[in-house]
Amino acid sequence: MTPVHDRTAWLQGGKAVCLQPPTRVDRIWRLVLLGPPGSGKGTQAELLAHSLGACALSTGDVFRAARGHPAPPGSAMAVAQEQMARGELVTDNSVLALIRERGRCLRCSGGFMLDGFPRTLAQAEAIDALLVAENLQLDAVVSYELPTPEIIARLSGRRTCPACKSVFHVETCPPKREAVCDRCGGALVQREDDRPEAIQVRLEAYQSATVPLAAHYQKKGLLFPISAAGLPAEILARTLDALAIRVLGL
């Protein structure tokens, strides 16, 4: 569960400087992780970070981290947090401003994995343009697939640690002590957007806004659909196999 990078700078916003030197890697990986809410993108992002050395960057984590620093009412961040709590997507402009602010994370020599970004066609086109401008290329867009009943079970039982961002599940990945984080001892909570009414809104937003991205990346030959069923280690192995075969040609 120990992260490869502390992601402190990523979570603190544009001006923060990353103090963690990039992990030495044999190959720099630049990936996008797609998939419905609760399919396990965040879980896989942490596992992949260990295997590949690239930093896992989640836009959802940034918006949640900002909650600890109350934004002025009506400000873009305050509006973004309200949208997020309801399960709605945050506006493209707010998300893109955030990504541009942290452009140096995209240029990191350790690589990156984008978890939860892009999630609209406008965001995908903006990141395409940003990467072209930086002369960088994506290696793959891994699209995790899971049936809806399993998604709902994963989201309903998820518990997270607001302090260190560790993720647990009351049945499939319970903490050693009930409601206490194994990593830092913090009190585990249920995310506001894991309430049933917000889950429904998120699933609808995923269908209408994010599913079209699959076709966008399919046309570019970057889309790798992966089943997200089974144990996290099994899904990781499937992902690494797909990357080895289709990207490295092994």
Residues serving a catalytic function are 41, 119, 158, 191, 202
Applying CB under 6 A, what is the total number of residues that bind ligand AP5? 36
Task: Identify the helix (H) or strand (E) that includes residue 79.
Answer: helix 76-86
The CA-based dihedral angle spanning residues 216, 107, 226, 213, taken in that order and rounded to the nearest 10 degrees: -20
Nearest to 87 by CA among 193, 166, 11: 193
Going through the chain in order, the beta strands assigned E by DSSP cover 30-34, 55-58, 112-115, 140-145, 158-160, 167-169, 223-227
Taking contact as CB under 6 A, which single stretch among the options 15-23, 56-64, 132-140, 180-188 is the one that binds ligand AP5? 56-64
Q: Does 173 bind ligand AP5 (CB under 6 A)?
A: yes
Footprint of ligand AP5 on residues 67-106 (CB under 6 A)? 83-84, 87-90, 95
Is-contact 23 49, C-beta < 8 A?
no
Cβ proximity to ligand AP5: between 22 and 167 the closer is 167
Which DSSP symbol is given to 230? S
DSSP string spanning 176-195?
SSTTB-TTT-PBPB--GGGS
Footprint of ligand AP5 on residues 151-170 (CB under 6 A)? 154, 157-158, 167-169
β-strand 30-34 against 112-115: which pairing, if any?
parallel
Cβ proximity to ligand AP5: between 109 and 208 the closer is 208
Cβ proximity to ligand AP5: between 22 and 182 the closer is 182
Which residue of 172, 200, 207, 218 would you call a contact of ligand AP5, by CB under 6 A? 172
Q: Does 116 bind ligand AP5 (CB under 6 A)?
A: yes
Q: Does 53 bind ligand AP5 (CB under 6 A)?
A: no
Is-contact 63 90, C-beta < 8 A?
yes
Q: Which residues of this protein are in contact with ligand AP5, per CB under 6 A?
A: 35, 37-43, 58-60, 63, 83-84, 87-90, 95, 116-117, 119, 123, 154, 157-158, 167-169, 172-173, 193, 202, 231-232, 235
